[in-house]
Structure 1
Amino acid sequence: METILNYFETIPPLHRGIIIVAGLTFFWILEGAMPLVNFNYKKWKHAVPNIFFTITTIAVNLPMAFLLLYSADWVMTNNFGILNWLPEMALWLYVLLGVFLMDFFGAYLPHLIEHKVPPLWMVHLVHHSDHKVDATTANRHHPIESVIRYLFTLLGVFAIGAPIGIVMLYQSMSIVATQFSHSNIKLPRKVDKWLSYVLVSPNMHKVHHHYKMPYTDSNYGNIFSVWDRLLGTYMELDPDKIIYGVDVFPNEEENSNIKDLLKQPFQKYQKPTSYEAVTTNED
C-alpha cells in the first residue's frame, strides 16, 4: 500500500493521461463484445463531442493541479481535516477511508447539488443529454462543470485532510469507475446487482440516465454505491425500460452538436415535469 501511495504522490501527467486513454479503450472494446443495448449508431461519430469534452476536462484540470498539491501539503503541515483528527490507523484503512470520503466530496455531493440547483442543472445537462450512453459519455462534461467538480474536490481535500497521494489515487480510480459505470456493457444481472451493494455498477448508474423523473434524480454515486444507499437516493429500474436523454431537451441532433452543447447551460431553464411510478426490481 505504501508503494501505491508513493507512486500516486508523484504520478506524472502523462501517466494520468494514459489511465484515461487505456480505460476508455478497454471499455470501448468490451462494449463491442458484450453490449447492453444494440445502438444503431456510428460509434466514432457519436464519440466526437464526448471526446471533445474529455479534452476540455483535462485542459481545465491540469493547469489547476498545483492548487490540489498546495492544499494537500497545507492540510498535512497544519494537521487539518478529518483524517488528521482521527486516531492513528493501519495504512490500508487510512487510504480506503480517504478515497471513500473523497468520493463523497468530489463526486456524490457536487452531483447531487447540480441536480437540485437550476443553473447548475443546466450546466450538468450536457452530460445527461447524451442519447446513446457508452464509455465515452463518462467525461462528457461542460467546461463549467469541470470547474465546479474541481472546486468540490478542493473542498474535499480541506475537509478530509487528504495527502496528495490519496487525492491522485482517488482521481485515477474515479476516472476508471465512471468509464465502467457508463459503459454499454451487459453483465449478468446477479453479478451487477451484487456489485452494486458496494460499487456503482453499470445497471445502477444507467437508471440515473433514464430520461424521466424521478429516476434522473437518483444514483448519484461515482465509485461507491454506499452513499446513495445511506442517503436515500438509490433507485432501481429494469435496464430494458431505460431510455437515455432528458425529456425537456429531446432533440438528439442538437444534443450531438458541440456548438449547441457549449451553449446549452445558457438556455432558459426547463424544469422536468414527467414522472413515472417508482418500481424496484429484485433479481
Structure 2
Amino acid sequence: LIGATLILKAADYNAENNTGLLNLFQGPIWLKVLIGIMLLDLIGAWLIHWIEHNVKWMWGFHVIHHTDQQVDVSTGLRHHPGESVFRLTFTALAVFVSGASFGVVMLYQTLSGFFAHLTHANIKAIPGLEKILSFIFVTPHFHKIHHHYTLPYTDKNYGNIFSIWDHLFKTASSYQVNNITYGVDTHMDKKETSRIGTMMMIPFQKYRFPVGSKFSE
C-alpha cells in the first residue's frame, strides 16, 4: 500500500509540476509512451534487479525467488515481502525521474505483470525466431538462463520486459536450455525452500557462499 501510494504521488507530482525527463521535450504521444515504458523498465525493474544481485543483504531477500527448482508461471509470484519494498520504491523513483503520467504507469504495470508470468512459463523457444525476439524482449528461454542454479548464469539476463538493457550493459548470456538446472546452489534443500516460514527467515541467516561467490566475508 505504501509503495503504491509512492508511485501515485510521483505520478501526481509530475502532472502538477511538469517534471521528469518526458516533460523536457515535445513529441508524439506514442513516442512518449514508448520512452516512458522503457525508462520505467530500466529503473524500476532492470536496475533494482541488478542491485539485488550485487548488494549482499539485498540478495538475501531476492534469493527467495531463485530457490524455486520447478520454474513456471507461479515463480513470478515467489518473492519475499521485503523485496517488494525495494521494487516498489524503485518503481516510484522511475516514475519521478521519467515524468511518466499515471496512464503510462498503469500500462507499464500491466505489461510488467504479463511479462513476469510469461517469462517464467514453460514455453519452448521458436527456432529461428528466438534470437530475434530475445534481442529486444525478454523471452522465456532468455530468462530461464537467469534461473540456472550456479554462477555466472544467475547473474545474467536481468531484464523484465526489454532484453536490450542486458545487451547494452553486457549482462546478456546464452546457454543450452536442456542443460539448465533450476534453483540456486546455496539453497537446494527442498525442505527449506518449500515452506513459507523457513523461506521468510533466509534473509536474516548467515550468508551462504556459492561456487564463484562475488561477495567477501
User: Per the shorter chain, which TM-score range?
Assistant: over 0.9
Task: Tell me whether 1:82 sits opposite 2:12 in the alignment.
Answer: no
Amino acid of the residue matched to residue 270 of structure 1?
Answer: R
Contact 1:137 1:182 survives alignment (8 Å): yes
- TM-score, with normalisation over the residues of structure 2? 0.94
Corresponding residue pairs, total:
213
**Corresponding residue number in structure 2 for 1:156:** 94
Deviation at 1:91, TM superposition (A): 0.7
Tell me by how many angstroms 1:157 deviates: 1.0
Letter in 1 for 2:27: M
1:246 equivalent in alignment to 2:170 = no
- Please tell me the residue identity of whatever aligns with 1:240: N
Gaps of at least 5 residues in structure 1 are: 1-61, 276-283
Asked if 1:212 corresponds to 2:150, the answer is yes
Give the CA deviation at 1:221.
Answer: 0.3
Once the two structures are TM-superposed, the CA of residue 158 in structure 1 deviates from its matched residue by 1.1
Deviation for aligned residue 1:64: 3.9
Q: CA deviation at 1:108?
A: 0.1
Tell me the SS of whatever aligns to 1:190: coil
Give the superposed CA RMSD: 1.3
Aligned counterparts, 1:158-173, within 5 A: 158-173=96-111
Post-superposition offset of 1:150: 0.3
Amino acid at match of 1:106: G
**1:151 Cα deviation after fit:** 0.3
Aligned to 2:137: 199
- Asked if the contact 2:186–2:210 (Cα under 8 Å) also holds between the matched residues in 1, the reply is yes
User: Residue in 2 aligned with 1:147?
Assistant: 85
Matches for 1:9-20 after TM superposition, within 5 Å: none
Pairing of 1:6-85 with structure 2 (within 5 A): 62=1, 64-85=3-24
CA separation in 1, counterparts of 2:33 and 2:200? 37
The DSSP-based 3-state class of the residue aligned with 2:129 is helix
- How does the TM-score come out when normalised to structure 1? 0.73
8 Å Cα contact 1:204-1:219 kept in structure 2:
yes
Q: Residue 6 of structure 2 contacts residue 89 of structure 2 at CA under 8 Å; is this kept in 1?
A: no
CA deviation profile, 1:69-110 (whole Å, cap 9, x unmatched): 22111112212111111x211111110110011001110000
Cα distance in 2, alignment partners of residues 220 and 240 from structure 1? 20
Distance 1:267 1:208 in 2: 23
Q: How does 1:169-180 map to 2 (within 5 A)?
A: 169-180=107-118
Residues 246-265 of structure 1: per-residue CA shift (max 9 Å, x gap)? 11111022111111111111
Q: Which residue of 1 aligns with 2:174?
A: 236
Contact 1:131–1:244 under 8 Å retained in 2: yes
Q: How far off is 1:63 after superposition?
A: 5.3
